[in-house]
Amino acid sequence: MIRAGRMLAVTLISCWAFTLPGTTASADVVPGDVIDKSNWQKIEGLVPEPLLNWIKQGDLIKIGELDYNPAEFYSPAIAQSLAENAGKYELNKEDVVVGVKTGKIPEFIVGIPFPVIDLADPKAGQKVMFNKFYYQYGIGSTRAPFRMEWIGRGRGFERAIEAEFCMLTLDSNPAAKKEANPDNELVLSSARVVHPPDISGTNVLAWRYRDERPDYTHVYVPAIRRLRRMTPGSRSDSYLGSDLCVDDNWGYAGKVGAFEWKVLRKEEQLVPFCEGDPIRVFLNDEGEWETARHDRTLGLGYEAKGYQGAPWFPLNVVYVKRPTYVLECRARDRYYNYGTQYLWVDADVYMPVYKVIHDRAGDYWKCGVIFLLALASEDGQKKMVALGGQLTVDDRSRHGSIGIAMSPEITSFFEASLDRNDFSLGGFQKLCK
């Protein structure tokens, strides 16, 4: 039974001043360390400032190590692209990927387009983000159910929705070459709410193009039985009243060219991974890679008896020292709700792991944490790093929202069999009803 309702906070907390640390950490950690408010100094400079403040207030994190190397979790096509695509592509003035020799948009890019990132390159930030998307597309078309929970600091669990994210990729993964692509699209995606009944069918459809055209985004509203066009700026509006917006998905889900980007530095940081060995995937009868049944959960604070930290904080996570790119970005659209944002991106799999958000006045507002999840087949034929969960905390309202993709009740599908018609306007509207 999903509980409904959300109590709005009436008391604002004082926001701490947020500055990006310019020096490396003076302390260090080793696997097995448990960091809490008694020894938070050990990770100063190894995590973003908001996370450090959460630990000072009562949260804790476990330092660990992985029994696998995320840098080896590439599909064969992506692994091959690390050598073959070096120096092959560039970005034009509209931040569109073009061939170096032709200056034209390529018909298809296999793997990631920019395997070598030069920090002195003025477009290094955009290239890191294109690699993020192409790594994601390289996993193949995806059908990924998820659960999102609303959690208040004083009240605990408030309500939840069950939804499904579907992504039809048209680039990076060689299997996508069989798809006709007359409109020069990059990816088609949808997010569909399936429960509870009062908002079931509130769904988002997005088309992304290879060229400079902005994303074509619609939301279906069951109450009026109509599709409503979303402007690029409205992608920063709250998603169903949560602390996340559409563009927060996977750290950043907007078009690269919609933002100004800058790489500040490359440094070691503590990156959150779901605990344990990679979750198994197997090839099902439809030719899809399906996650096997498991008993793994994120283990939220309110579910742990006696936990003194935030009720939304995941506990079944280990923080591992990893190379990351630290990016600064700002929307070109003056109607975008967020001001300056900072992203920490894993330097091997190009997945954002932290997102610090300021408002348009420049004051700190929210922080997001992405929990990475490794998946692998028994024979190692299929290996990938995906999303295990995503937390966003609004530190002003003392409220958190968490999307959960790793759960015994959730089965995900990669290189999934998706119906192209479901991503047309007519097909999508029919699917929503």
Mean pLDDT value of segment 377-394? 96
Assess whether 255 and 305 both reside in one domain: yes
Which pLDDT value is given to residue 231?
86
CA distance 329 to 340: 6
Q: Are residues 122 and 257 in the same domain?
A: no
For the chain, percent of residues with pLDDT exceeding 70: 94
Average pLDDT rounded to a whole number, residues 103-124: 97
Residue 8 lies in a domain: no
- 13-24 mean pLDDT: 41
The residue behind tokens 């477009």 is 123
Q: What is the pLDDT of residue 224?
A: 79
Residues making up the chain, counted from first to last: 433
Model pLDDT, residue 16: 39
> From start to end of 69-172, where are the E strands?
89-91, 97-99, 142-152, 156-169
- Please tell me whether residues 102 and 206 are part of one structural domain: no
Residue 228: pLDDT over 50? yes
Share of the chain above pLDDT 90, in %: 86
Is residue 104 domain-shared with residue 250, that is, in the same domain?
A: no
Q: Report the CATH number at residue 189.
A: 2.50.20.10
At residue 223 the predicted structure's pLDDT band, cuts being 50, 70 and 90, is confident
pTM assigned to the model: 0.92
pLDDT band (50, 70, 90) for residue 226: confident
Q: What is the pLDDT of residue 11?
A: 32
Mean pLDDT for 58-81 is: 95
The verdict on residue 191 lying in a domain is yes
Number of compact structural domains in the chain: 2
User: Is residue 70 domain-shared with residue 211, that is, in the same domain?
Assistant: yes
For residue 111, give every residue at least 6 positions away whose Cβ sits within 8 Å of its Cβ, in sequence order, or none: 75, 77, 78, 79, 80, 81, 82, 84, 85, 134, 138, 172
User: Does residue 7 have a pLDDT over 70?
Assistant: no
Is residue 213 located within the same domain as residue 88?
no
- Compute the distance between CA of residue 425 and CA of residue 221 in angstroms, rounded to an integer: 14
- Residues spanned by the domain of 101: 81-131
pLDDT range class, residue 245, cuts 50, 70, 90: very high
Residue 17 is classified by DSSP as P
Q: Note whether 209 and 88 are same-domain residues.
A: no
The chain-wide mean pLDDT, for the chain, equals 92
One domain, residues 195 and 290:
yes
Flag whether pLDDT at 285 surpasses 60. Answer: yes
Per-residue model confidence (pLDDT) at position 57: 96
Region for residue 183 given its phi and psi (left: phi exceeds 0; alpha: psi -120 to 50; beta: otherwise)? alpha
Mean pLDDT, range 60-82, rounded to an integer: 95
Tens of pLDDT, residue by residue over 155-200, are 899 999 999 999 999 999 999 999 999 999 999 999 999 999 989 9
The per-residue pLDDT for range 210-222, each reduced to its tens digit, is: 999 999 999 998 8
Whether residue 255 sits in one domain with residue 114 = no
Is the pLDDT assigned to residue 9 strictly greater than 80? no
Sign of CA dihedral 277, 279, 283, 284: positive
State yes or no: pLDDT of 227 exceeds 90: no
pLDDT band of 103, cuts 50, 70, 90: very high
256 and 112: one domain? no
Q: Are residues 328 and 385 in the same domain?
A: yes
**Given this model, what pLDDT does residue 27 score?**
63
Give the range among 351-355, 374-378, 425-429 with minimum mean pLDDT.
425-429
- Residue 1: the pLDDT is 36
